[in-house]
Structure 1
Amino acid sequence: MRVAVIDLGTNTFHLLIAETAEEQPEILYKTNVPVKLGEGRINDNTIIPAAFKRGIDCLKDFSKTIVNYQVDLVRATATSAVRSAENGKDFVNAVKEQAGIKIEIISGDEEAELIYQGVKLSGAIQQPSLIMDIGGGSVEFILCDSEKLIWKKSYNIGAARLMQKFFNSDPLSDTDKQHILFHIQQQLTDLFAICEKYKPQMLIGSAGAFETFAELVSGKHHQNIAVEQLKTYLFNYDDYIDISLKLINSTHQQRVEMPGIIPLRVDMIVIAALITNYVLGRAKINRLMLSSYDLKMGILASMM
């Protein structure tokens, strides 16, 4: 059977088309578009008109590709930006009418479950681990071991939300950093309580910002790795810390000039580095791995 997975993220819309006849799915087509659905007013729970239009146009294009590939089954899921927006249902209805795609708005809990299924498929979970998925609207945390999911939760502390609320300086000032860290600390109390109990040994970053971290770390050592072709990537911890501090203290222009950072992530990567470092420190974890398998692969696994 030929299936299509559409993941409508706060920053990026993804389309993945796969053949599922065999035990392992064969990826036939994969693309992503920086729609920036959460641009401007995500904290006001509104999709602004320009972002609304970009989303519709992107999904019209996805619809044509799906027809060209003669797909049998489509599953389109929307996450934080759509589920929290007051005009989110209007967006879903407009997409159905104009692009012929039926969107399912999933809860934060469902999102975390699907991320877990995707990461599990990559083979990254070999020990007690904390999975972290940094989106534009929300961040999902999943505590698990090699056999089972133990605990999961979605928090509305995504990079686009924090950026719009706190990112007022270039480079990021100590005051802005403190406001961000204080906000994260207030939100994540229960996460650290559960980490204290289960003591995860590995932080597994699900795609997105962690792919950028991997690009930057591998580039530092002139390693010619194609991150998008890897299932997993184990970081040298000191290299990651070095790169993350460089990002946090850099100017916008310095990040623009860093090979390995896509335009969409030039500013959000600072927020991602701050959150990641805070979680590593508070949860007392000093091992970090990328899983390039994320929500999309979890949805694909659920369709097989």
Structure 2
Amino acid sequence: MNVAAIDIGTNTVLLLVAQIDADGKIIPVVYEQRIPRLGNGVDAQKNLQPESIRRVVDVLKEYRATVTRFNLEKVIVAGTSAVRDAHNREDLALLIKNQVGFDLEVLSGDDEAYWTYRGATSGVPGVQRATVVDIGGGSTEITIGNARTVENKISLNVGSVRLTERFFKHDPPTHTELESAITCVEDELAKAKGFDFEDRTLIGVAGTATSLAMLDQGCKEFSIDAVTNYHLKLDNVNALFRTLRAMPSVEILNLSSVMQGRNDVIVAGTLILREIMAHYKFTEMIVNERGVRYGLAIREWEKSLSTHQGVLL
């Protein structure tokens, strides 16, 4: 089965074109990332801005040209936190349909958490008990489960863009601003009080996790091999946070090309990750690039199996 999955996030728009074999193994064919920051201002105004929408539509037109080169059974286009929160999300959906020809699916926070978990665990073989963390621009999903089954999941209303816009008025942020952000994150993390985090492998997906993996290794350019299943220690996250919080965003940009489009929100993302690891007592995290796009690809493969079995019956 050949599918494409496009994840429209608060900060990024990500494309995956993949083959899925008879056993459900995902073989990536195309992986693309653009950073149009759709969620700019959504936390305060609850609406997607016209310029942000235009940037996303332009990216989708580019992706359409890419996916039409392949014989695909399905193209999934999914919106997450910023789209969920925006009062004018139907305007975005209509524009995408009219100008690009794609149907926009808006994922609930629970669905985003579930399919992110399924995608992430598909890329870390041998894990029996996992906690998957997806720090996005607008929200953070935390999901626990085993190799195939999700046991508990929650979508928290903190993300790197949202936290930056809400609390950081200076560049770099002041001590008071950082403390306010930490308090906000801690209040959100308390909502997962019934979760069993003991003896679980922490897996981190999305831009904050992969960017920190690159910085921790001193990589100047993105490398999928360097990211995949990299073990990031809590001590190293703390050290990165101490460094980044004291740097103006223009200086952060010079650290690596992976900071392009993230340099002004990476402090908030690192803060969220640091608080998660400390709060739930994780000493290290396995970084993986497989997020909700991979989970949605798995969803379509499982649907095709059900349809095929139904025909046989």
- What TM-score results when the alignment is normalised by the length of structure 2? 0.88
Worse-matched range after superposition: 106-115 or 19-28: 19-28
Once the two structures are superposed, what CA deviation does each residue of 1:62-121 show, in whole Å capped at 9, x if it has no partner? 222222223231111111111110110111011111110011111000000000001110
Shift of residue 151, structure 1, vs aligned partner? 0.8
CA separation in 2, counterparts of 1:22 and 1:229? 28
Partners of 2:56 and 2:12 lie apart in 1 by: 10
Q: 1:254 aligns with which of 247, 251, 258?
A: 251
Conservation of the 8 A alpha-carbon contact between 2:123 and 2:288: yes
Q: 1:33 and 2:1 equivalent?
A: no
Q: Partners of 2:84 and 2:140 in 1: how far apart?
A: 14
Equivalent pair of 1:3/1:71 in contact (CA under 8 Å) = yes
Q: How many residues align?
A: 300
Structure 1 counterpart of 2:114: 113
Q: Output the CA distance in 2 between the equivalents of 1:35 and 1:160.
A: 12
Alignment-derived partner of residue 285 in structure 1:
282
- In the aligned structure 1, how far is the partner of 2:291 from the partner of 2:84? 19
Deviation string for 1:26-67 (max 9, x for gaps)?
322221111110113433211111011111222122222222
Which moved further from structure 2: 83-92 or 148-157? 148-157
Tell me by how many angstroms 1:188 deviates: 2.2
Q: Which residues of structure 1 form unaligned runs of 5+?
A: none
Structure 2 CA distance for partners of 1:163 and 1:120, relative to 1, 3 Å: same
RMSD: 2.2
- 1:94 corresponding residue in structure 2: 95
Which of residues 282, 299, 304 in structure 2 aligns to 1:302? 299
Distance in 2, matches of 1:257 and 1:225, equals 14
**What corresponds to 2:266 in structure 1?**
269
Question: Is residue 2:242 matched to residue 1:245?
Answer: yes
* Contact 1:11 1:36 survives alignment (8 Å): yes
The residue aligned with 1:211 is 210
In the TM superposition, structure 1's runs of 4+ consecutive aligned residues that sit over 6 Å from their partners are none
SS at match of 1:141: strand
* Contact 1:202-1:286 within 8 A present in 2 as well: no
Structure 1: how far apart are the matches of 2:199 and 2:273?
Answer: 15
**Alpha-carbon distance in 2 for matches of 1:145, 1:9:** 26
**Shift of residue 133 of structure 1?**
0.4
Alpha-carbon separation, structure 1, partners of 2:297 and 2:259: 25
- Give the corresponding residue for 1:3: 3
Give the direction of change, closer, same or farther, for the CA distance of 1:228–1:184 in structure 2 (3 Å limit): same
CA-CA distance at 1:252 after TM superposition? 1.6
Deviation at 1:201, TM superposition (A): 4.3
Relative to structure 1, the CA distance from residue 181 to residue 89 in structure 2 (aligned partners, 3 Å threshold; closer, same or farther) is: same
Note the C-alpha offset of 1:265.
0.9
**Alpha-carbon spacing, 1:260–1:5, altered in 2? closer, same or farther (3 Å):** same
Q: Aligned partners of 2:224, 2:136: CA distance in 1, in Å?
A: 19
1:117-132 aligned at under 5 Å gives the runs 117-123=118-124, 126=127, 128-132=129-133
Q: Measure, in 2, the Cα distance between the counterparts of 1:72 and 1:259.
A: 37
Q: Answer whether contact 1:115 1:294 (CA < 8 A) is retained.
A: yes
Contact 1:215 1:260 in 2 (8 A): no
* TM-score, normalised by the number of residues in structure 1: 0.91
Q: Partner letter of residue 246 of structure 2?
A: N
1:12 maps to 12
Amino acid at match of 1:79: T
Q: Identity rate of aligned residues, in percent?
A: 27
Deviation at 1:293, TM superposition (A): 1.1
Q: 1:200 to 1:260 in 2, by over 3 A?
A: farther
Q: Report the CA distance shift for 1:277/1:216 in structure 2 as closer, same or farther (over 3 A).
A: same
Post-superposition shift, 1:157? 0.9
SS of the aligned residue for 2:122 comes to: helix
CA change 1:44–1:200 in 2 (3 A) is farther
Are the aligned partners of 2:204 and 2:287 in contact in 1 as well (CA < 8 Å)? Answer: yes
Deviation, structure 1 residue 128: 3.9
* Aligned CA distance change for structure 1 residues 84 and 125 (closer, same or farther; 3 Å): farther
Shift of 1:225: 8.8
Match of 2:194 in 1: 194
One-letter code aligned to 2:13: F
